[in-house]
Amino acid sequence: MPEILEIEYYRQLAEAALEREIAAVWVDELASRGLEPGVDLAAILPGLSFVAARRRGKLLVLDTEGPSMGLRFGMTGGLLLDGVAGIDRLRYGPGSYEPRWIRARVTFADGGELLLHDPRRLGRVSLDPDEGALGPDALSLSIGELRTALAVRHGEGPPIKARLLDQSKIAGVGNLLADEILWRASIDPRRPSTSLSPAELRLLHRHLRSTLDQLFERGGSHTGDHMEARRPQGRCPKDGAAMHRATIGGRTTWWCSAHQA
DNA sequence: TAGATTGTTACCGT
DNA sequence: CACGGTAACAATCT
Summarised one tens digit per residue, pLDDT across range A174-229 is 999 999 999 999 999 999 999 999 999 999 999 999 999 999 999 899 999 999 99
H or E element that contains A10: helix A4-14
pLDDT at A120 over 60: yes
Higher pLDDT, A52 or A83: A52
Nearest nucleotide (CA of A4 to C1'): B6
**Tens-place pLDDT, residues A44-67:** 999 999 999 999 999 999 999 999
Q: How many CA atoms lie within 13 A of A231 on its CB side?
A: 5
Distance CA A135, CA A157 (A): 17
Higher pLDDT, A120 or A19: A19
Name the residue closest to B5, CA to C1'. Answer: A75
**Tens-place pLDDT, residues A91-115:** 454 455 788 999 999 999 999 999 9
Nearest nucleotide (CA of A172 to C1'): B7
Distance CA A84, CA A81 (A): 5
CB A146 within 8 A of CB A205: yes
pTM of the model: 0.95
Nucleotides of strand B under 7 angstroms from a protein beta carbon: 4-9
Nearest nucleotide (CA of A59 to C1'): B7
The residues of the protein lying within 7 Å (CB) of strand C read A 30, 75, 91-93, 100-101, 119-122, 152-154, 157-159, 162-163, 166, 193, 247-250
Name the residue closest to C7, CA to C1'. Answer: A250
pLDDT for the residue numbered A84: 76
**Tens-place pLDDT, residues A130-185:** 999 999 999 999 999 999 999 988 888 899 999 999 999 999 999 999 999 999 99
State chain A's mean pLDDT as an integer.
92
Query: What are the phi and psi torsion angles at A218 (to 5°)?
Result: -70, -30
CATH topology of domain A135-256: Helicase, Ruva Protein; domain 3 (1.10.8)
Nearest to A147 by CA among A157, A155, A255, A132: A157
Nucleotides of strand C under 7 angstroms from a protein beta carbon: 2-13
**Per the CATH hierarchy, to which homologous superfamily does domain A4-132 belong?**
MutM-like, N-terminal (3.20.190.10)
Query: What are the phi and psi torsion angles at A159 (to 5°)?
Result: -55, 140
Distance CA A103, CA A83 (A): 15
Check for a shared fold between A4-132 and A135-256: no
**Tens-place pLDDT, residues A226-247:** 999 999 889 999 999 999 999 9
Chain A residues 5-44 within 7 Å (CB) of strand B: 6
Distance A256 CA to C13 C1' (A): 26
Average pLDDT over residues A20-30: 96
Nearest to A190 by CA among A244, A233, A239: A244
pLDDT for the residue numbered A96: 57
CB A44 within 8 A of CB A16: no
Domain ranges in chain A?
4-132, 135-256
pLDDT for the residue numbered A85: 77
